[in-house]
A and B are shown apart, each in its own frame.
Chain A
């Protein structure tokens, strides 16, 4: 049995490859990106003919996976937590179609929002879709659960959701690899209407999904990922979900006397929970995410035994857990800490030296100063860093693609000028539809598409429409004379300002495309060429 050191993300990737994966589709998103990167780099995956690619967004990824499943083969979709919002339509309805080949969806949450706009908890999506959810406790679990998830998906005719958080995704540990399973053969669905969700058909399939709920619960009771650990001190019982178990055990080096219900699979195992609940006086719930289990346990009226956790202040309501927070919740002493000396100054992330966005924003700042009253609606990527000093160029960042559509809404409500700034990858992810809306309404907006030829913030993955941005804009109906390509370098500063001013003066849809390769991917490309 080979043992290698893997990130949580890499353990999932290798686990999928070893579980007979045929295809992985994804859009980059921290902390999930490394899963698909690993499979893209893997010689084993290449030799096995595993289809692996970045797609325009998480919804198209999810739908492609349903296509793979339709033909009887196993598919993996990975995303960050907010990516599941984008995939939600396909995700929810995949629970109704069921599967042919197994489907596993991995959603990587980000408690404390290290690199995200919120800390939404993907377990709710599993509950919402009424499908099984697995929440690995460590890197070995993350590897082992892949084979089980695919097998369960096929046996119980349902996609399976795996939920991880940043501290598992981006942490390395030794993992023992297991048996390798071959890919499925091509096999069409026996029921030709399985994937046709006309209401009459969907109603029947939905009843089948509901009828399967007890089977999903039986898996949770019997598989072994959930465990009821007995303890002689019954004054307190502790429920842990996912990696919260590690933070609990970190505080009990000599072993724990309290009973522990260790949860790593949903739906909740009700028999195990009842045995646990009956045996203790009070309960502490530790979840690296929202108080999902805690809240359900209390019910609306909190009539049962005392339940402690995020909702009663034992733990902070928001943010990730860590060993000391759990120690405090248990009433333990924590180690004395040195204070951070005052001389320590924040070192926030900033645009790289030589980044094309700096030139684009420097010109834009001059133009916005000239117009005086406008606002710049922006989006998600490296270019969001321009909200901070020294640039302070942008006034909004809400969700993928919102720059263009917010600019339209604001323009129609009277804002002049109304400017959107969006990256090339964000544009193909969710900007195309908004641009078409702008064209159809002849909205007086100016859209800057910062084309650095890459998906930069997540590490330089391929961008989907490199070389086609102007054609797409014109194809959607933007007038050719109002699609302006500029080169964001210092010596073009005055010329670029002039062009931006012209387009903002225009009372219709205009697109300005500052195009220069990302300085990081450029450097990597040059180094790679030198090696050859």
Chain B
């Protein structure tokens, strides 16, 4: 088993929490893990990226070779596009469709979505709306993670366990909100399979 996952978004959108959830799920399943990230710029509204590698064998490089990522997960649509050069030709592109416009020259969103739809294997969803319907916009990142679960190769129960470990001290309500967010994302992804 080997999965190379690129996570992209804007600083503050919860990418590292997604990475921690996948990482915890992987380590609990006995897999090897390497997860590299960019620090510092994240709070300054810049783009952030994390390379997440899971494997049943020893992993060497912390960086995923360009063109070999199995999955690119975008918490923001233009950020998802920024990282397509990492995506393998058989890979899946999973992204939120809601733009984060903190630059004056953000492109027309229709153009961004059109580009995303050109990829043969994609999942595009309005994670913000789904999260709001569940009770909190903050869970949008977990909705997107849910949409990626069918492609990662771990069980939903592995992720549920990870969420309990990560969010446990915030109480059952928060844990359940996040688990529901995962499930809602998974359901959305089914439309694209």
Q: Does residue B65 face the partner (Cβ distance < 8 Å to A)?
A: yes
Q: Does residue A529 face the partner (Cβ distance < 8 Å to B)?
A: no
A334 to B82: give the CA distance in the assembly, Å: 20
The listed residue with most B CB atoms (<10 A of its CB), out of A31, A171, A347, A457, is: A347
Q: Does residue B153 face the partner (Cβ distance < 8 Å to A)?
A: no
Closest to A168 in B: B62
Q: Which residues of B contact A459 (CB under 8 A)?
A: 39-40
8 A Cβ contacts from A317-342 to B = 322-324, 327, 334-341
A348 to B82: give the CA distance in the assembly, Å: 13
A247 close to B103 (CB less than 8 A): no
A-B CB proximity, top 4 nearest: A335-B67, A349-B44, A171-B36, A349-B46
- Candidates A172, A246, A346, A458; contact of B23 at CB < 8 Å: A172
Listed in ascending order, the chain A residues whose CB lies under 8 Å from chain B are: 5, 30-31, 33-34, 114-115, 167-168, 170-174, 243, 245-247, 249-250, 322-324, 327, 334-341, 343-352, 382, 385, 390, 457-459, 520
Q: How large is the interface on B (under 10, 10 to 19, 20 to 34, 35 or more residues)?
A: 35 or more
- Candidates A31, A322, A343, A390; contact of B107 at CB < 8 Å: A343
Q: Which residues of B contact A351 (CB under 8 A)?
A: 44
The listed residue with most A CB atoms (<10 A of its CB), out of B39, B89, B111, is: B39
The listed residue with most A CB atoms (<10 A of its CB), out of B10, B41, B62, is: B62
A349 close to B33 (CB less than 8 A): no
B111 close to A343 (CB less than 8 A): yes
Given contacts A172-B34, A341-B84, contact A352 B45 (CB under 8 A): yes
B81 close to A246 (CB less than 8 A): no
B44 close to A339 (CB less than 8 A): no
A114 to B37: give the CA distance in the assembly, Å: 12
A170 close to B36 (CB less than 8 A): yes
A246 close to B115 (CB less than 8 A): no
Q: Does residue B134 face the partner (Cβ distance < 8 Å to A)?
A: no
A84 to B37: give the CA distance in the assembly, Å: 24
8 A Cβ contacts from B33-80 to A = 33-41, 43-47, 51, 59-68, 78-79
Q: Does residue B157 face the partner (Cβ distance < 8 Å to A)?
A: no
A322 close to B65 (CB less than 8 A): yes
Closest to A460 in B: B43
Q: Which residues of B contact A247 (CB under 8 A)?
A: 60-61, 63
